[in-house]
Structure formats: C-alpha cells, structure tokens
Amino acid sequence: MNPGNAQTSPSASSLHGTGAPSDWSPSSWRARPTVQQPHYPDSAALAQTLGELSALPPLVTSYEIEALKGAFAEAARGERFILWGGDCAENFADCTSAAIAARLKILLQMSLVLVHGTRKRIIRIGRFAGQYAKPRSAALEAREGVELPSFRGDNVNRPEFTLAARTPDPTLLLRGYERSALTLNFIRALVDGGFADLHHPENWDLDFVKHSPLAKEYQHMVDSIGESLRFMESLAGGAILAMQRVDFYTSHELLLLEYESALTRQVPRREGWFNLSTHVPWVGLRTSDPDGGHIEFCRGLANPIGVKIGPDTRAEALLRTIRTLNPSNEAGRVLLVTRFGAHQIGHGLPRLVRAVTDAGLAVVWVCDPMHGNTETVVPTSGNWAGRSVKTRKFAHVLAEVEQAFEIHRNEGTVLAGVHIELTGEDVTECTGGARGLTDDDLSRAYRSSVDPRLNYEQSLELAMLISRRHGSGSKH
Ligand code: PEP
Ligand code: CO
C-alpha cells in the first residue's frame, strides 16, 4: 500500500479514470435479480447502519486501486506474478495481532520464494480486511426438524443454532467495517515499519517448519537474496531503501451489495466511482450471472474486478460478463479466477481461454486451485473416525496449478497468478505435502469453519514448487 493518494499526487492527471456508464448508479443493481443476500427483518435498523457506513471514511484510496490495476496489466503481459491468498473466511475473533502477523508473514515468505524463482515482481493480495461474508448453497439449515437461516459469516449473523443468533443483524456490518479497518491499520504499520525489510532476515525466519525438508532450500534463497542485496548496495554506495517495504493489497468477495454500495464513492479530481472497501473485490461463482445484481453493481466500479469461473461457466455468458464489465477493453480491469479442479481443468479451461482470446478481450488469468478440489473424506482412526470431513489434497492443488501453466503456455496466454486459501498457522485441514498429512491427521488441528486451508508449511512448499518449475530457467 503506497502512502499518499491521488487527490494530492501531481501525477494524478496522467492516470486515467474510468467514468461509470450513464445508466449506472451505486443502486442500479436493485432493479436486477440478486442472490445470496440476507433478509434483514428490521429494515429501519438496516437503513440506519447503511447511513452510518456511508459517512465513515474509506478503507483504501483511489490511488492505490489505480496503481493495482496498472500492476495487473503488467501481470497479464507476464511481467509480474500475482500471489493472492488468505483464509476462506475471516472471523471477528481472529482479528488479533498474532493471526494478522502470521498471515502476513507466510504471504511475504511465499512472495520471496516466488520472486527468487520467477525473477518477476510479485503483486501481493490478501483475502483479508473484509472477507467476512460467505455464499451458501442453502438459505436455510435444518436440524432435528427446526429450520433457521444459514450462517452467512460474521458480517451477517452468528453461527449458534438459535433464531436470535441466525437472524441477520445489520449492526454486524459496522463491526465488520471496524475490524477491516483495524486489520488494515496493523498491516499498513507492519509493512511500512520494517516487517518486510530484507535487511532484517530474522523476520524471514521459518517458525515451526525449521526442521522441515524445505527449510534448507528456503534458507538458501534468503541467504542468496541477502547477498545480492549487499552486493547491489555496495555498488550503489548505500542502503536500497526500496527494499525496506513492500506493497500489500486487500480483497474480499463482493457479496453483500448493501454494504458494498455504502462504501462506493466518488473522489475529488477522479472520474468514476470507486469501491473503497477494498482494492480488488471479486464476484464468486454463485453470483456471477451476467444479468444479475452483482455484475450490474461491478459494471460501474473503477476497481479491478475478479470473476470466478468453473466447469459450469458457458463461453457466451463469460464473454457477456467481460464485455459488460469492461466495454473499453482496459488492460488490468477484469481478472478471471479459474477454479475447475485438477480433474476438470484440462477439459474446461482451454475452451474458455480460446473463446476469450478469439473475442480479443483483455483479461488477467489467475488460477484458484482450491475450490474445485474440495472433497469429503471419512477418517478411519483418530478423534474423527467415522465422521465426514471437508478436505483438499495437496497433490490436486499442485496438479491444477501445473496444468494451468501448461494450458496457458499452449494457448499462447499468460497465467498471471494464483489465488490460494491458506493460513500462517500449523493447521491440519488439507492432506499431503512434504509432511505427508493423512486423513487421520485431520482431527489434530482442523480450525476452519468453512473451507480447508493449506497450512504454513504446505503454502511455502507450493510456492517453492511453482518457483522451481516455472522459474526463470524454465520455458515460461
Ligand atoms: C471462495 O473463494 O471462498 C469461494 C466461495 O469461491 P467460489 O465462488 O469460487 O466457489
Ligand atoms: Co473458500
């Protein structure tokens, strides 16, 4: 996150703004069918909360958003690589110093590994500071003959199975906004205050994976980067200050349209409307209908927009979505986040890549190797013997990324980055990896209430394997 913002930047006039279409407004989505929205029984309380939210300061600036869009355009040309990651869902209780620092640390370490291997600048994006709402496959949950609204994330309702807890409470939107601000404040302070300074290798130490088979290779990378830095500095005759900080961007699924429109603003001396709740919102698979409210809302935003696509995405619908979001074919505006699963990507992705390429549409291709690889297993021993558990196999995650690289290489397009569900903690939610976690290990430290995440060591391993196979020495 860069300090300063467009309102005071002398170079502001050289950045292009994107004016919203004349038939769009932050509330034009209301005329479209919308799915996955909570029903708030107390509409006066909702109106009051939205009024408060729309008067509160933004979480990010238009300057940062425009800088990110420019960086995405470079990534689409293969000049940068996107590392996008974080929890499936954040929760309010995890807004703690330790959890935030751990998340930042794993993303930084992965990006170091990737920069070393790919020799490209890395765009770091967290699924954090606002990832508090989840789409659900059913609006209601039934238990023992009782039906209540499904839990939709801490921004909407509470997980306990009581009517009071499950009734959507609009004041939670304010609590979510505040926690997003607290998270961002701490992240900005850490990245500006030397947490990411390559001159301080102690910040780059591996924690509990010191004895991992990966540790030696990782340490070798850190040492070699440190040596190169010292060499450059002796040539330059002083510290390279640019190495003391890094840029970090935020993202979350753009799901709750009331919340997102309350944080969508115009800013002085820029054209268009910016969603200032995050840098890059994405539209999930369940809300990506080109005629639905979510795409209508995103159409008028100046932010870059991610769109998830998968095995059921039809080419004509996808082309319509892209043209709706990006009529001027601006580079860096639309990111297609593909999540097919290791067994379906080979069949599903090439046809969509060809359709987009043949139509001459500018997009940024990103691989999400998580959401198409979720499966249910039943451990045979351990605390969870005989129970169904949601997991993902590391080998499938890796195989999907590998195939994505290969498909884009064959099609003459660029895989610009990866979107991963991960945590900086030592959880056991996905199986496999260097430590060979088995189904029976899942009960040991399974903490996610939603999707299973790669743990610290598995995340680092994935970054190393991507780096090794797609580094500067490879054909890509
Ligand atoms: C997610 O990213 O957590 C998610 C729900 O993904 P998708 O919309 O791709 O299923
Ligand atoms: Co998820």
pLDDT digit string, tens, across residues 155-170: 999 999 999 999 999 9
Q: What angle do CA 195, 200, 201 make, to 5 degrees?
A: 105
Output the pLDDT for position 45.
Answer: 98
Residue 265 per-residue DSSP state:
E
pLDDT of 215 over the 90 cut: no
Average pLDDT over residues 412-439: 95
- Most confident range (mean pLDDT) of 14-28, 159-173, 232-246 is 159-173
Rounded to whole angstroms, how far apart are CA atoms 153 and 172? 10
Rounded to whole angstroms, how far apart are CA atoms 277 and 160? 28
Q: Which domain holds residue 162?
A: 136-169
Position 379 confidence tier, pLDDT thresholds 50, 70, 90? very high
Rounded to whole angstroms, how far apart are CA atoms 141 and 275? 32
In this structure, how many other beta carbons lie within 10 angstroms of the beta carbon of residue 197? 17
Residue 31 per-residue DSSP state:
G
Output the pLDDT for position 447.
Answer: 92
Output the pLDDT for position 15.
Answer: 39
Atom 10 of ligand 1, nearest CA residue: 285
Atom 8 of ligand 1, nearest CA residue: 284
Per the structure, the count of domains in the chain is 2
Is 266 inside any structural domain?
yes
Report CA(421)–ligand 2 centroid distance (Å).
Answer: 7
| 65-69-71-76 Cα dihedral, nearest 10 degrees | 160
pLDDT digits (tens, 9 = 90+) for 447-467: 998 999 999 999 999 999 999
φ, ψ at 138 (rounded to 5°): -130, 140
Rounded to whole angstroms, how far apart are CA atoms 127 and 252? 6
Report CA(457)–ligand 2 centroid distance (Å).
Answer: 19
pLDDT digits (tens, 9 = 90+) for 38-57: 999 999 999 999 999 999 99
128 shares its domain with 142: no
Q: Which ligand is nearest the CA of 450, by number?
A: 2
Place of tokens 């930084």: 108
Interaxial angle between packed helices 215-236 and 456-470, expressed in degrees from 0 to 180 and rounded to the nearest 10: 60
Residues within a 6 A CB radius of ligand 1: 88, 135, 284-286, 308, 339, 371, 451
Q: What angle do CA 96, 101, 103 make, to 5 degrees?
A: 100
Atom of ligand 1 nearest to the CA of 451: 3
Q: Please give the helix or strand (H or E) that residue 420 lies within, else none.
A: strand 415-421
332 shares its domain with 309: yes
24 shares its domain with 165: no
Tell me the residue ranges of DSSP E strands in 118-238: 121-126, 140-143, 146-149
pLDDT of 13 over the 60 cut: no
Q: Which of 152, 282, 336, 339 for mutating ligand 1's site (highest number of atoms within 8 Å of CB)?
A: 339
β pairing state of 121-126 and 249-250: parallel
pLDDT digits (tens, 9 = 90+) for 353-367: 999 999 999 999 999
Atom 3 of ligand 1, nearest CA residue: 88
Is 215 inside any structural domain?
no
Residues β-bridged to residue 334: 305
* Contacts of 267 by beta carbon, 8 Å cutoff, 6+ apart: 6, 7, 61, 62, 274, 276
Average pLDDT over residues 383-400: 96
143 shares its domain with 60: no
111 shares its domain with 149: no
Q: Which ligand is nearest the CA of 135, by number?
A: 1
Counts for the chain of helices (H) and strands (E), in that order: 12, 14
Report CA(332)–ligand 2 centroid distance (Å).
Answer: 24
Atom of ligand 1 nearest to the CA of 88: 3
Position 17 confidence tier, pLDDT thresholds 50, 70, 90? very low
Report CA(436)–ligand 1 centroid distance (Å).
Answer: 26
Average pLDDT over residues 232-257: 82
Position 245 confidence tier, pLDDT thresholds 50, 70, 90? low
Position 224 confidence tier, pLDDT thresholds 50, 70, 90? confident
393 shares its domain with 438: yes
104 shares its domain with 129: yes
Whether residue 174 contacts residue 53, with contact meaning beta carbons closer than 8 Å, is answered with yes
* Contacts of 24 by beta carbon, 8 Å cutoff, 6+ apart: 296, 299, 300
Is 4 inside any structural domain?
no
Report CA(88)–ligand 1 centroid distance (Å).
Answer: 8
Q: Which ligand is nearest the CA of 390, by number?
A: 2
Average pLDDT over residues 313-320: 98
Rounded to whole angstroms, how far apart are CA atoms 155 and 174? 8
Average pLDDT over residues 20-35: 96
Position 244 confidence tier, pLDDT thresholds 50, 70, 90? low
Is 237 inside any structural domain?
no
Average pLDDT over residues 371-400: 95
Query: Which of 155, 180, 181 lies closest to 168 in space, CA to CA?
Result: 155
Q: Which of 253, 313, 390 for mutating ligand 1's site (highest number of atoms within 8 Å of CB)?
A: 253
117 shares its domain with 150: no
Report CA(309)–ligand 1 centroid distance (Å).
Answer: 10
β pairing state of 305-309 and 334-338: parallel
Place of tokens 């840098």: 279
Place of tokens 């060809």: 354
Output the pLDDT for position 246.
Answer: 74
68 shares its domain with 119: yes
Q: Which has more pLDDT, 84 or 384?
A: 84
Report CA(284)–ligand 1 centroid distance (Å).
Answer: 5
Rounded to whole angstroms, how far apart are CA atoms 468 and 288? 34
φ, ψ at 418 (rounded to 5°): -130, 150
148 shares its domain with 127: no
Rounded to whole angstroms, how far apart are CA atoms 396 and 390? 14
Is 236 inside any structural domain?
no
Is 224 inside any structural domain?
no
Identify the CATH number of the domain in which residue 114 sits.
3.20.20.70
Query: Residue 440 is encoded by which pair of tokens?
Result: 């029976």
Amino acid type, 66: E
Atom of ligand 1 nearest to the CA of 337: 9
292 shares its domain with 403: yes
Query: Residue 240 is encoded by which pair of tokens?
Result: 């390279």
Is 141 inside any structural domain?
yes
Reduce the secondary structure of 178-194 to three states and give it as a string: HHHHHHHHHHHHHHHCC
356 shares its domain with 371: yes
β pairing state of 80-86 and 146-149: unpaired
Report CA(313)–ligand 1 centroid distance (Å).
Answer: 14
β pairing state of 264-265 and 274-275: antiparallel
Task: Tell me if residue 142 falls in helix, strand or coil.
Answer: strand
Is 12 inside any structural domain?
no
